[in-house]
Amino acid sequence: MIYLNDIKILFDYLKSNNQMVGLKKEGVRYFYRSLDSFDEWAASPLLGNFSPKDHFFPHDELMFYFKAQKTIELKAEVQSSVLWAARPCDIQGILELERMFNQTEYKDPYFMQRFEKTLIVGMACTEPWPGCFCTSVGGSPYKKDGADIFIYPLENRYLIEVVSEKGEEALKGLSAENASDAESLISKGRADAEDKIKPYKFEGIENKLKSMVDSGFWDSIHNPCIGCGTCAFVCPSCHCFDISDEAKGGRGLRSRQWDSCLFADYTLETSGHNPRPTGAQRWRQRLNHKFNYFVEVFGIYQCLGCGRCARACPVNINIAEMATKAMEWAEPSE
Ligand code: SF4
Ligand code: SF4
């Protein structure tokens, strides 16, 4: 571990060989974008309106061209990049995308080449947003897992921890003061940050949801939802996409776009049949995917507690409150 008085030193050091991607203000919102200089970085708030998912898995992505039934692969090289100062919850979101897109039987080359070429620099979240609940879903504002390098802001300087070999390689040659007395500073910072986060009780929710397949609960909660899909688009771990072909005269292109299980036509089949025609069924799917199915397959929640979906939802639906209601739900007696 090392100390740096000015975090710009680290930014400029990494920028010399990489595209820097960090939080940038555009209009009134904060997005992860390419940063041409340190001054473009929006150091606060650390939580953007959108997560860094778009850097690894773009909202609208060209996959390949085709001509007379032959595929023409894209030749462009993916540039090596640094994801700068990402929040721990967003890093967990990237790790969850990697679990989805890097399976033994199926690997997504589009996601994987960006993932492999990106150095992840995480930053401890000293001021959690009031809607955050990472500590209730296995996270922490100081969780460094998944980062290559992790930054802890201290009162007058920064503590930098090298977490992975990739991070060690990237920092070779950076001279800085060695930090041997840092553990207590990290523990104190972690405790202070975690104290600011509202706790929820989700233990056992996966079993409760399993027992609620035919519950009246879903009819009781879905009505305010207008199916706009905003919650999925801002979510760091939602990964559904749709594929489109555009063709004319034997030539064309294939691309993919983010999708949402709360869109009414998400499961609409070509025949016109829709196996999930109601909002109640769609909400059952969403809550189960986040708190049950992902636990069953990967042993972790798919929700990271970033709170973005509640902040962005036009009708104020809050997934943590929704999950709490599910935990407390008792079927009405006949
Ligand atoms: S479901 Fe909501 S709170 Fe959970 S990770 Fe996605 S955006 Fe964040
Ligand atoms: S953002 Fe809110 S209204 Fe829109 S789909 Fe999600 S829960 Fe429904």
Q: Would 83 be classed as within a structural domain?
A: yes
Instruction: Note whether 184 and 251 are same-domain residues.
Output: no
Query: Distance (Å, rounded) from C-alpha 252 to C-alpha 245?
Result: 7
Instruction: Note whether 218 and 191 are same-domain residues.
Output: no
136, 143, 308: residue to mutate for ligand 1 pocket, most atoms within 8 A of CB: 308
92, 133, 143, 306: residue to mutate for ligand 1 pocket, most atoms within 8 A of CB: 306
Q: Would 61 be classed as within a structural domain?
A: no
Query: Distance (Å, rounded) from C-alpha 89 to C-alpha 47?
Result: 9
pLDDT at 240 over 80: yes
Residue identifier of the C-alpha nearest atom 6 of ligand 1? 235
Q: Would 334 be classed as within a structural domain?
A: no
Instruction: Note whether 118 and 14 are same-domain residues.
Output: yes
Distances (CA, A) of 331 to 139, 212, 224, 289, 322: 31, 9, 21, 22, 16
pLDDT level of residue 83 (50, 70, 90 thresholds): very high
Q: What is the mean pLDDT of the chain?
A: 94
Q: Would 332 be classed as within a structural domain?
A: no
Taken in order 206, 212, 214, 219, the sign of the CA dihedral is negative
pLDDT at 75 over 80: no
The whole-number average pLDDT for the span 28-54 is: 93
185 vs 97: which has the higher pLDDT: 97
Taken in order 1, 305, 316, 279, the sign of the CA dihedral is positive
Coil, strand, or helix at residue 147? coil
Instruction: Note whether 34 and 82 are same-domain residues.
Output: yes
Instruction: Note whether 266 and 228 are same-domain residues.
Output: yes
The whole-number average pLDDT for the span 282-293 is: 98
205 vs 127: which has the higher pLDDT: 205
Q: How far is the CA of 85 from the centre of ligand 1 (A)?
A: 19
User: What is the bridge-based pairing of β-strands 19-26 and 81-86?
Assistant: parallel
pLDDT level of residue 73 (50, 70, 90 thresholds): confident
pLDDT level of residue 196 (50, 70, 90 thresholds): very high
pLDDT at 76 over 90: no
pLDDT level of residue 181 (50, 70, 90 thresholds): confident
Instruction: Note whether 80 and 38 are same-domain residues.
Output: yes
pLDDT level of residue 94 (50, 70, 90 thresholds): very high
Q: Would 63 be classed as within a structural domain?
A: no
Look at the chain and report how many structural domains it folds into.
2
Q: Would 126 be classed as within a structural domain?
A: yes
> Is any atom of ligand 1 closer than 6 Å to the C-beta of 232?
no
Instruction: Note whether 212 and 268 are same-domain residues.
Output: yes
Distances (CA, A) of 52 to 17, 129, 259, 275: 20, 17, 17, 32
Could you read off the pLDDT of 128-139 as tens digits, one per residue?
Answer: 998 999 999 999
- Ligand nearest to C-alpha 316: 2
The whole-number average pLDDT for the span 182-193 is: 91
Instruction: Note whether 187 and 223 are same-domain residues.
Output: no
Tell me the two tokens of residue 190.
């972690």
Q: How far is the CA of 76 from the centre of ligand 1 (A)?
A: 33
pLDDT recorded at residue 118: 98
Q: How far is the CA of 207 from the centre of ligand 1 (A)?
A: 20
Domain boundary residue, one of 195, 219, 235 = 195
Instruction: Note whether 209 and 120 are same-domain residues.
Output: no
Lowest mean pLDDT among 143-152, 182-191, 217-226: 182-191
On whether the pTM is more than 0.85, the answer is: yes
Q: How far is the CA of 229 from the centre of ligand 2 (A)?
A: 6
pLDDT recorded at residue 183: 87
Of all atoms in ligand 1, which is nearest to the CA of residue 131?
3
Could you read off the pLDDT of 243-286 as tens digits, one per residue?
Answer: 999 999 889 999 999 999 999 999 999 999 999 999 999 999 99
Domain boundary residue, one of 174, 195, 216 = 195
> Is any atom of ligand 1 closer than 6 Å to the C-beta of 88?
no
- Ligand nearest to C-alpha 97: 1
Instruction: Note whether 113 and 150 are same-domain residues.
Output: yes
The whole-number average pLDDT for the span 73-85 is: 88
Q: Would 162 be classed as within a structural domain?
A: yes
Residue identifier of the C-alpha nearest atom 2 of ligand 1? 309
Domain boundary residue, one of 195, 225, 259 = 195
The whole-number average pLDDT for the span 287-305 is: 97
Instruction: Note whether 293 and 172 are same-domain residues.
Output: no
pLDDT at 50 over 90: yes
Of all atoms in ligand 1, which is nearest to the CA of residue 137?
4
Instruction: Note whether 186 and 234 are same-domain residues.
Output: no
87, 96, 292, 319: residue to mutate for ligand 1 pocket, most atoms within 8 A of CB: 319
Q: For residue 173, what are the domain limits?
A: 2-56+75-195
pLDDT recorded at residue 245: 93
Lowest mean pLDDT among 20-24, 42-46, 166-170: 42-46
Are 65 and 72 in contact by the 8 Å Cβ rule? The answer is: yes
Query: Distance (Å, rounded) from C-alpha 269 to C-alpha 256?
Result: 18
The number of beta carbons lying within 10 Å of the beta carbon of residue 273 is: 9
* Residue 172 one-letter amino acid: K
Query: Distance (Å, rounded) from C-alpha 305 to C-alpha 45?
Result: 16
Q: How far is the CA of 26 from the centre of ligand 2 (A)?
A: 23
313, 321, 322: residue to mutate for ligand 2 pocket, most atoms within 8 A of CB: 313
- Ligand nearest to C-alpha 48: 1
pLDDT level of residue 179 (50, 70, 90 thresholds): confident
Residue identifier of the C-alpha nearest atom 8 of ligand 2? 225
Phi, psi of 160 (to 5 degrees): -115, 125
For the domain that residue 17 is a member of, what is the CATH number?
3.40.640
Q: Would 69 be classed as within a structural domain?
A: no
Residues whose beta carbon lies within 6 Å of some atom of ligand 2: 225-231, 262, 313-315, 317
Which H or E run contains 190? helix 183-195
Q: How far is the CA of 314 from the centre of ligand 2 (A)?
A: 7
pLDDT level of residue 236 (50, 70, 90 thresholds): very high
Question: Tokens 């401890």 appear where?
Answer: 124
> Is any atom of ligand 1 closer than 6 Å to the C-beta of 308?
yes
